[in-house]
Amino acid sequence: MSTTTTRTTTYQELVQQFCHCLEIRRRDDGSTYWAANRDSRHWDEEFESVIRELHDGELPNDWRYGEIARIAGDLLDLLQEAELAGDEDACPTDLADEIKSEADPYRSELLAWLEIGERWTSREPSEIEPTSDVYTLVQQLMTQERQWMAQELAWQFEQLANERTAS
């Protein structure tokens, strides 16, 4: 087994371990949300910094937790597909671009997203098309934020896996 295959397997195992630590919880009002189960047998203290980094100063944030769970699940699927296809060079940062990042199509979801956190001061918007439609602008910003989260989560896992294989 080559070192690359070992790393790909390590990436997959790490993402799977992380996914096992995410769970849906129910509030008293009946609404549900994603959260990290720090009591899970799969929990690793290094996951705390991954979660904090992806919340980008907006912890706790239901939208971000949901996105983290979705992106981690998609990344795990892509790593498993790469392994089945015999792609020995598959690593999370290469696969992150394949993770769905399109914005929600519903105006109510877009407006609710705008109310969450300090996203206007976090990052400079890039590649935003000029538009007179506020909903299109918000969709572009949401897509950009999802792309950043996918890249960041993939990078975080790649760093953790590389640290583990180096030791």
The pLDDT value given to residue 132: 62
The pLDDT value given to residue 124: 60
The pLDDT value given to residue 2: 47
User: pLDDT in tens for each of the 167 residues of the chain?
Assistant: 444 445 667 888 999 999 999 999 999 999 999 999 999 999 999 999 999 999 988 888 898 999 999 999 999 999 988 888 888 777 788 888 888 888 777 777 777 777 655 555 555 656 666 666 777 878 888 888 889 999 999 999 999 988 887 77
Amino acid 90 reads A
- Tell me the C-alpha distance between 90 and 19, whole Å: 19
Q: What is the DSSP string of 99-165?
A: S--PPPS-HHHHHHHHTSTTHHHHS---SPPP-S-HHHHHHHHHHHHHHHHHHHHHHHHHHHHHHHH
The pLDDT value given to residue 14: 93
Closest CA to 99 of 149, 51, 141: 149
